Amino acid sequence: MPAKDVFHDTVKNALQKDGWLVTDEQFFIRSGGVEIYIDIGAEKIIAAERSGEKIAVEVKSFLGYSTISEFHGAVGQFINYRSILEEEQPERFLYLAIPSDVYETFFQLPFTQKVIRENNINLIVFEQEEEVIIKWLR
């Protein structure tokens, strides 16, 4: 099983504060001869008259030496994970969770915005100190 991202528990706590039931902390899925672990699987706790929305969340800290290298890896992972989810669990939406300071700087660059838009990457922006979700971008 892969190691948790440094902000794994922060995002898990933020999701719970936002009304999500975390169902898996290392969401395992197998398809087409490969096995992956997405950081978090969750379901929204909502009223009985509505069906439950399901998500999978890949958490990225962007604390490494090269933000652009981490971005390349995160985009590739997101695309691969989304492909597997579309095949095996099409009802589950995939999100990339990123810290607010990274969103407010690197993710505002024209290049980053273009890549996010062209690849339809859903984002959860979280504040790490307060452990809250600031934005859902889909």
Confidence of residue 4 (pLDDT cuts 50, 70, 90): low
Give the start-to-end residue ranges of the domains of the chain.
15-137
Residue 61: closest CA among 45, 73, 44, 52: 73
Residue 26 is given by DSSP the state S
- pLDDT for residue 46: 42
Share of the chain above pLDDT 70, in %: 91
Residue 70, phi then psi, degrees to nearest 5: -65, -35
126 token code pair? 């979280």
Cβ neighbours, 10 Å, residue 114: 10
Which residues make beta-bridge pairs with 99?
A: 126
- pLDDT for residue 49: 37
pLDDT tens digits along 49-85: 334 788 999 999 999 999 999 999 999 999 999 999 9
Q: What is the mean pLDDT of the chain?
A: 89
Pairing of strands 123-127, 132-137: antiparallel
Return the H-helix or E-strand segment holding 66. Answer: none
Q: Find which of 42-46, 61-65, 100-104 is predicted with most confidence, using mean pLDDT.
A: 100-104
More confident residue, 131 or 45: 131
CATH architecture of 15-137: 3-Layer(aba) Sandwich (3.40)
Q: What is the DSSP string of 18-43?
A: TTEEEEESSEEEEETTEEEEESEEEE
pLDDT beyond 90 at 40: no
